[in-house]
Amino acid sequence: MSLPQIVDSHCHLDFPDFDGQHAEIVARAAEAGVTRMVTICTRLRQEPQVRALAEAHAPVFYAAGTHPMSVAEEPLASVEELVSLAVHPKFVGIGETGLDYHYTAESKSVQQESLRIHVEAARQTGLPLIIHARDADDDMARILSEEHAAGAYACVMHCFSSTAALAEVALGLGFYLSMSGIAAFPRSKELREIFAAAPVERILVETDSPYLAPPPHRGKRNEPAYTAHTARVGAEVFDMAYEDFARQTSANFDRLFSKAAAWTSAA
């Protein structure tokens, strides 16, 4: 019997950790039931390399933006630049963008400016915004709410590990929460409770690889195949059979990342 199909909604296949291994990584993902993945470009000057990965591997889609931890050293993206990139048939999301005050609080003002630019690009393209949030919950909730009131857009809170309050705001705006390996860590009971309180129709799964490998690979390089480990924990959190959770999160991905779903259907 074939494994249930799931999606790694967020990984970084262009990072040096994976150099020269992409075909094997995609193959191992397929063996684990991970039949699609979205690789994320975090610096727009690297977009050509990330695009090439999506073009070379049928299961790979991509998104691009300026990571909040990089905005102080990268040129500020423009709405027009992001919108023009979105013409590519396998470009399926805007970001990752967001706020990170843990390591880079000194650049908070330009992070906020960059975030609002990415929101506008998401509005204009109809593609989902991919949000990174760390130690910035109040500003994140405020800006996402202000921007949504100014014009609706779709969004996923990638690698969600923030507070119940931010989860409530995001879900109230119709956004999605994505489970990473952090949700599978033994000490993440409180985070699992936040997920359990959310509608399962708004949950995605991801690796954020090469980072945050779930048990039993914790501390090692993460890769898309390991999405299955996090998804099994997710199934337990929602008291669902793994097959049902896999089907639900894949349907959620298709609903949010509708461009990827359309490309898959046409392929």
Q: Is 17 annotated as a binding residue?
A: no
Q: Is 118 annotated as a binding residue?
A: no
Q: Is 158 annotated as a binding residue?
A: yes
Kindly give the pairing relationship between strand 129-134 and strand 6-11. unpaired
Q: Is 96 annotated as a binding residue?
A: yes
CA nearest neighbour of 136 among 76, 69, 79:
69
At 138 the three-state DSSP class reads: helix
> Using alpha carbons only, what angle is made at residue 19 by residues 207 and 179, rounded to the nearest 5 degrees?
5
| Token pair for 30 | 């397929």
Q: Is 74 annotated as a binding residue?
A: no
Using alpha carbons only, how large is the chain's radius of gyration in Å? 17
CA nearest neighbour of 206 among 55, 195, 44, 115:
195
* Residues annotated within a binding site for a divalent metal cation: 10, 12, 96, 132, 158, 208
* Residues annotated within a binding site: 10, 12, 96, 132, 158, 208
